[in-house]
Structure 1
Amino acid sequence: MIQHFKFKPLYNSKLPGWQLNFYNKSIYYEVIYNSDGSLTCVSPKDMVLDEQLEKEIQALMAFHVYD
């Protein structure tokens, strides 16, 4: 379960892309949400996001950004 979810634009309001910060299972994540909807995990380094976590992130972004 994602906790303490925060996001901010990477560039400006005209260019899509967001930096996300959150905790999941006591691990702090920094993730880039790219304009095409893909996710790039910045921290922890070389972490591969599992499918369930990606779905949760997509749902949160749909609710907060695209609503």
Structure 2
Amino acid sequence: MRWPLNYSSMPVVIDGVIHWIAFDTLPRRIISFYLTSEEFSEVELPECLAHSRYPYIFNFKGSLAAY
């Protein structure tokens, strides 16, 4: 599986998991890489952000947040 990532955006690291937004897909997705198991996963952004041109993810008190 191949995920196009926008490397100009900063990844977010929380509890040993690196998160990015895949900008070349619609709806937008968050791609996660688990450092301990070396596995990838993906999840679609909520509907209100899934088609946003520039969604943003960040660490909010230890949780992944988006706007």
TM-score normalised to structure 2 length: 0.42
Q: Which has the higher helix share?
A: 1
TM-score normalised to structure 1 length: 0.42
Q: Which fold has the larger relative contact order, with Cα–Cα distance below 8 Å and residues 6 or more apart in sequence? A: 2
